[in-house]
A and B are shown apart, each in its own frame.
Chain A
């Protein structure tokens, strides 16, 4: 079945550092890929998405590129801020069957000033 593997946290970085959170997936066909973010005390929000190979999703300075050859969708940001502290979830939606999302276990990111 479909699965998503994320880099384990927690991750602690200093402000303005470069961020990478690794995500790889296993799925049949050509899934759509997503990053969701959960800020403290808030619900899950869609951060960015990519629906086909080589697409790059971007939002709020975050980027992720759909790499079919390595089955990866790593999240990157060039200069993190304290306000980026949150839990980040990688997810996929298979293009076969229903539309449910399969999530990774989440990575807790803490940015220190």
Chain B
């Protein structure tokens, strides 16, 4: 596609439920990143994929968070047993291998009530 596509754009969920967030990167971009932007905070790195492998998962805040990428393309970020502190905008970005610039998606705004 022309840009990085994320879905859903908004998600409201009850505390304790599981959610899945999807990212469809730009075709041909081998690197994919997930970030979290909380109100009044900067962007917090979550996980980085190169192809289907994740060489850096250091930013995942707890074992309730997991992510996968299949076919070197679409990625899914899963949050299990959501908590109110998980409420944030989850951003996905992709880049060419060795490329300097990321292209960001518009994000998924997650609200846990």
Contacts and interface: CB of A to CB of B under 8 A. Distances in A.
A69 interface: no
Nearest to A104: B42
Contacts of A32: 100
B43 interface: yes
A49 B42 contact: no
Contacts of B65: none
Contacts of B43: 44, 89, 91, 101, 103, 106
A100 B48 contact: yes
A89 B42 contact: yes
B101 interface: yes
Contacts of A34: 100-101
Contacts of A42: 106
B54 to A, nearest CB: 10
Contacts of B93: 44
Contact of A49 (B4, B48, B100, B105): B100
A71 interface: no
B87 interface: no
25 contacts: A32-B100, A42-B106, A43-B4, A43-B91, A43-B105, A43-B107, A44-B43, A44-B91, A44-B102, A89-B42, A89-B43, A93-B100, A98-B48, A98-B55, A98-B56, A99-B48, A99-B95, A100-B45, A101-B43, A101-B102, A103-B42, A103-B43, A105-B42, A106-B42, A106-B43
Interface of A: 32, 34, 42-46, 49, 51, 89, 91, 93, 97-106
Interface of B: 4, 31, 33, 35, 41-43, 45, 48, 50, 55-56, 91, 93, 95, 98, 100-102, 104-107
Given A98-B50, A98-B56, A101-B45, 15 more contacts: A34-B100, A43-B4, A43-B105, A44-B43, A44-B91, A44-B104, A46-B101, A49-B100, A89-B43, A93-B100, A98-B55, A99-B31, A100-B33, A105-B41, A106-B43
